[in-house]
Structure 1
Amino acid sequence: MNNAVKKVVVLGGGTAGWMAAALLKKVLAGAIDIELVESEDIGTVGVGEATIPPIRLFNNVMGINEAEFLRETKATIKLAIKFDNWRVPGEGYFHTFGAPGKSLAFCHFHHLWLRARQHGDKTDLWQYDLNYLCAMAGKFAPINAKDSILELPYAYHFDAGLYARYLRKLSEQMGVTRHEGKVQQVFQHPNGDIKCLVLEDGRELSGDLFIDCSGFRGLLIQDKLNAGYDDWSHFLPCDRAVAVPSERFEKTLPYTRSIAHSAGWQWRIPLQHRNGNGLVYSSAHYSDQQAADLLLTNLDSKAVADPKFLRFKTGRRRQQWQRNVVAVGLSSGFLEPLESTSIHLIQSAVVRLIQLFPHNGICQSAINEYNKQSQLEFEQIRDFLILHYHVNERSDSQFWRDMQQLAIPDSLRQKMAIFADNGQLFREQNDLFLESSWLQVMLGQGIEPKDYHPIASNFSIEKLREMLANIQAIKQEPLSKLPDHDTYIQTMISRG
């Protein structure tokens, strides 16, 4: 019997719903019909404004022109995240999208740097990172590098609401049907699959596959299918956020800022028309009013709206694909936006669904593989976030002292141990974060390797210093040719 998926119904709009509808329609084209239901009366969380480089792949697949995208979403360029006060108050470091130096076969660059450090060199690792140099200089333009040493990976800051609106326009042009309304009832087949959604005005939306983008509630995946939830609050105890937009700076920085406070952290995200600001915090340590006051007194520009509060439980939906329902976005789980992974998790969920998309019927083996991959992805990102909190030397608050005593996952403990012993980093299969990301955060949080790879000893100290100086000079060379970040943005958005 042919049970091919011919019609997909997306419950919920926002970034998650429209990314799902747009990419599925773009890739599967005439093979499926897509209908999306959303209500203007139901707000979206809408605080996810910082992204990571894979968003450019999504836009490229969609055929999106970058100049048009920058105009439509009020976007700016993101080269890195700057972490302030995370190891100790008053100190900062960068996690960039680039990689320091240039690695050798079987030996990452940082082993050369570590050996030079042991022989008295005081040069900061980030001085060999082009993303860092451009971020500090406030410069940007894409570099078509023939040599990987001059690669300049980048992502965007953008208005998530405007991005969803832009994707809606593209989706409807491709034939996605949008329904305005609220879901009043959900009917199931005798086997438990979702049969149809019934809107308040009586309209029925039936489908073969449903994508649940209904937010934290999980109207289909949880309320109807009871997929369960893995609560990770014991690893990441922050459970609240407060967000507020403020006036834009005269000069937009090409990086996100993450500023640690006594029981949480604050984000600052520069857009063309405003700044995005928020505070992620633990309700066991701050009241909502304390959090709002702390945020409002630490803005770099005047607030232009009232604070908006968000409650969450860190973790993941135990089965993100169950029966004929796939959870995407907040309905699939939540990891705080410390490393700007929220929008990426939407993207990766949709890509994974496309890779495993049913042909002549939904099969359990595909569901199992989808759930296995999504679990691993969430766990790897979880470990990376825990690293920021756990490895700290702060003694100024109980929150940070508690994080030092955290019982961390074995997977993270092993990664930290081997790096501390000999500087080795191994990327797990499909880990979102490259070795250079783990390197920067581990060093930034204060883990200093005791040793380095023996390949680094193949050079005399004089030769090693000469190599490092040459690499540093090569990394510095493009800076004089790049425009200011704001100049680049203005040039792009003025294009026809």
Structure 2
Amino acid sequence: MPNKKIIVLGGGTAGWMSALIFAHAWIKKEFEITLIESKDIPVIGVGEGSTPALKTFFKKLNIAESEWMGQCNATYKTGITFNNWSTKPGFESYFHPFPSQLDDKFTSAFYFNTQVRRKGSDVVAHPNDFFFAHYLAKNNLAPIADYNFPFETEYGYHFDSHLLGQFLKNKALAMGIKYQQSKISSAELKPDGNIKHLISEDSQIFQADFFIDCSGFNATLIDKTLKVPFVDYSNLLFNNAAVAISTPKQTILKSETTSSALKNGWAWKIPLTNRTGNGYVYSTDFCSPDLAETELRLQLNLLDADVEAKHLKMRVGRRESHWYKNCLCIGLSQGFIEPLEATALFLVQQTAAIFVDEFEKGQFTPKNQIIFNANINQYFDGIRDYIVTHYKTNSRKDTQYWRENAANPHLISDSLKNIYSCWGKGENLTAQLNRQNVDKYYTSMSWHCLLSGMGLFPDSTTLQRPQPHEVQIRMDSIKAFYSRCALNYKTQNEFLEKR
């Protein structure tokens, strides 16, 4: 079997997570997996929040939450609250939930109400009260029920990304992954364009059959060596920088991420067990780093406080090909979509897992390379369109940044044109998403919550009293049901203390 020696270049969360995925699939097949990282290159965290995909990752590796969460100062996440993205009355804030089995009872009623309201009837169509995850977040509850309550709620996590990288490193080493600390300066190519070996600053040679580029934005192999083009999203997503500041932990640990729109971007608030992560994602085309830091400090009441701020730059977009020759790029080297919906680790997992599948199907040859690249590009573009919609549908008029986001003609892909048209005409959104096959990137529930949460309905003054057939459910019955269900859950503070 060819390609049995693999080198992963770069550590951090992306590098160690990828190495573990490959080791889980192939180390028993006598593959040799080595990770090389430099102590001189700082680890850039891709965020401190996740989607439920991270839960799946740990489950596949048989790693219990009690083993890793405490070591990474982690908390549970049931979804994201978006504050002040919309100025529509009654829609200034909304919650994007992770799904729960309990939602099955009311999701169809929510979809029905959004369609009826789009057609001009005055029914409740704000997403929050229809989904159990919002009830958990509103009451600071952990998303894991008592043993006798047989209903599951999906959830993600908040965590310290540096500590998570260290935890994954220890797991990888225990699994048999080899480790080399060295700074790679260049790579030599074979006549056919494949990578022959890596060369370190002290002239060491590292040979392998296949190379994984997890070298971050530096993209040592996929860019500097193989020259794979980069597809820039900057005309679609303006944000290219962030400033982060840590503050003391919250007395009451919330089970949600908060994203609040500011003048030239948005601010995150992420609760950890030892601190609170805060940051401002913005565009340097509209705001200088100093002004962004000042605005964040004002929001946190830290203008005169001696608290360190960390500034980061982002390059938003993706590689034209993620698997090229005998190299696969994963993480920041392959691309990045701003962290609004915490998709970075999800894309790392998907890229590594789909590569394992396609590499095996092709008998460890480049046979399925084209299929793989098309699949991963669709994931990036599908997620991009969902993130773009947050900006395109904003109704803020207070700054040039928000006005240009809403007016930007580059934001509309053919896929989004059809989605927006469907919504505006009061048609069946789920059917439209199914026809496009884009619901595998974001589900119909997510799209309904975003579009309704932003208040994309006829003006409230024009709404008509609903007809009897347009009223399917009483909202107080939903609240009563979820209130009774919530008796089976503990607060996040209580749950983590007893973990």
TM-score by length of 2: 0.89
Structure 2 match to 1:224: 225
SS at match of 1:8: strand
Q: 1:430 & 1:438 partners in 2: Cα distance?
A: 9
Q: 2:372 & 2:359 partners in 1: Cα distance?
A: 10
SS at match of 1:465: coil
Q: Given that residues 420 and 449 in structure 1 are in contact (C-alpha distance below 8 angstroms), is that contact kept between their aligned partners in structure 2?
A: no
- Structure 1 residues 481 and 304 mapped into 2: Cα distance closer, same or farther (>3 Å)? farther
Alignment of 1:336-415 (within 5 A): 336-358=338-360, 362-407=364-409, 408-415=412-419
Verify: 1:437 aligned to 2:436, yes or no: no
Q: 1:192 & 1:411 partners in 2: Cα distance?
A: 36
Structure 1 match to 2:327: 325
Structure 2 match to 1:252: 253
- Bigger drift between 423-432 and 222-231 goes to 423-432
Verify: 1:110 aligned to 2:119, yes or no: no
Q: Given that residues 241 and 314 in structure 2 are in contact (C-alpha distance below 8 angstroms), is that contact kept between their aligned partners in structure 1?
A: yes
Opposite residue 130 of structure 1, the aligned amino acid is F
Q: Given that residues 419 and 449 in structure 1 are in contact (C-alpha distance below 8 angstroms), is that contact kept between their aligned partners in structure 2?
A: no
Give the C-alpha shift of residue 474 in structure 1.
Answer: 2.4
SS at match of 1:422: coil
Alignment of 1:113-152 (within 5 A): 113-114=113-114, 120-122=122-124, 124-143=126-145, 151-152=152-153
Structure 2 match to 1:420: 424
Q: Given that residues 144 and 151 in structure 1 are in contact (C-alpha distance below 8 angstroms), is that contact kept between their aligned partners in structure 2?
A: no
Q: 2:166 & 2:263 partners in 1: Cα distance?
A: 37
Q: 1:120 & 1:20 partners in 2: Cα distance?
A: 49
Give the C-alpha shift of residue 448 in structure 1.
Answer: 2.3
Verify: 1:313 aligned to 2:315, yes or no: yes
Q: 2:493 & 2:314 partners in 1: Cα distance?
A: 35
Alignment of 1:451-490 (within 5 A): 460=469, 464-465=472-473, 469-490=476-497
Give the C-alpha shift of residue 146 in structure 1.
Answer: 10
Opposite residue 435 of structure 1, the aligned amino acid is S
Q: Given that residues 5 and 360 in structure 1 are in contact (C-alpha distance below 8 angstroms), is that contact kept between their aligned partners in structure 2?
A: no
Gaps in structure 2 of 5+ consecutive residues: 460-465
SS at match of 2:168: helix
Structure 1 match to 2:69: 70
- Structure 1 residues 47 and 293 mapped into 2: Cα distance closer, same or farther (>3 Å)? farther
Give the C-alpha shift of residue 8 in structure 1.
Answer: 0.7
Q: 2:133 & 2:49 partners in 1: Cα distance?
A: 16
Deviations 1:47-97 (A, max 9, x none): 511000111110001111111111111100000101111112992111111
Q: Given that residues 184 and 199 in structure 2 are in contact (C-alpha distance below 8 angstroms), is that contact kept between their aligned partners in structure 1?
A: yes
Q: Given that residues 102 and 109 in structure 1 are in contact (C-alpha distance below 8 angstroms), is that contact kept between their aligned partners in structure 2?
A: no
- Structure 1 residues 295 and 461 mapped into 2: Cα distance closer, same or farther (>3 Å)? closer
Structure 2 match to 1:159: 160
SS at match of 2:498: helix
Opposite residue 344 of structure 1, the aligned amino acid is F
Opposite residue 156 of structure 2, the aligned amino acid is A
- Structure 1 residues 196 and 359 mapped into 2: Cα distance closer, same or farther (>3 Å)? farther
- Structure 1 residues 459 and 21 mapped into 2: Cα distance closer, same or farther (>3 Å)? farther
Gaps in structure 1 of 5+ consecutive residues: 451-456
Q: 2:271 & 2:139 partners in 1: Cα distance?
A: 16
Give the C-alpha shift of residue 410 in structure 1.
Answer: 1.5
Instruction: Give the aligned length.
Output: 479
Q: Given that residues 324 and 362 in structure 1 are in contact (C-alpha distance below 8 angstroms), is that contact kept between their aligned partners in structure 2?
A: no
Give the C-alpha shift of residue 365 in structure 1.
Answer: 3.4
Verify: 1:9 aligned to 2:18, yes or no: no
Alignment of 1:223-302 (within 5 A): 223-299=224-300
- Bigger drift between 62-71 and 198-207 goes to 198-207
- Structure 1 residues 402 and 145 mapped into 2: Cα distance closer, same or farther (>3 Å)? farther
Opposite residue 55 of structure 1, the aligned amino acid is L
Opposite residue 431 of structure 1, the aligned amino acid is K
Q: 1:340 & 1:190 partners in 2: Cα distance?
A: 40
Give the C-alpha shift of residue 114 in structure 1.
Answer: 4.0
Q: 1:205 & 1:315 partners in 2: Cα distance?
A: 30
